[in-house]
Amino acid sequence: MQLTEKHKQYWRKNLSLTGALLVVWFVATFVVGWFARDLQGITLFGFPFSFYMGAQGALLIFMLLVGFYAYCMDKLDREYGVQEGSK
C-alpha cells in the first residue's frame, strides 16, 4: 500500500511527538539518577530533589507524559480523520 502525503505528515508528527516524549522520559529516568549526588543540594517540598524524584517525581512525570501523549494523539487523529470509531 502506497502512503499518501497526508499519511506521511501524520506519521512524521506522530514520531516527532513520540521522540520528544522519550527524551523527557529518559531525562526523568536516567539523567536525574545519574546526577543524584549533585542534585542533593536542591530541595523540593522539603526533600532533596533526587530523593523526591525517586519517590514521587518520576511517577508524576510518567503519568503526565501518558496523559499528554493521549491528548496530543487524540487531537492529531481528529486533525487527520483517523480517530477511533471513524469510518
Q: What is the pLDDT of residues 13-28, one digit of tens each?
A: 999 999 999 999 999 9
Task: Supply the pLDDT for residue 32.
Answer: 86
57: helix, strand or coil: helix
Stated pTM of the model:
0.81
Q: How does DSSP classify residue 28?
A: I
11: helix, strand or coil: helix
**What is the 3-state composition of the chain as percent helix, strand, coil, each rounded to the nearest 5?**
75, 5, 20
Asked whether the beta carbons of 61 and 27 are under 8 A apart, the reply is: no
pLDDT in tens, 45-80: 888 888 888 889 899 999 999 999 999 999 999 999
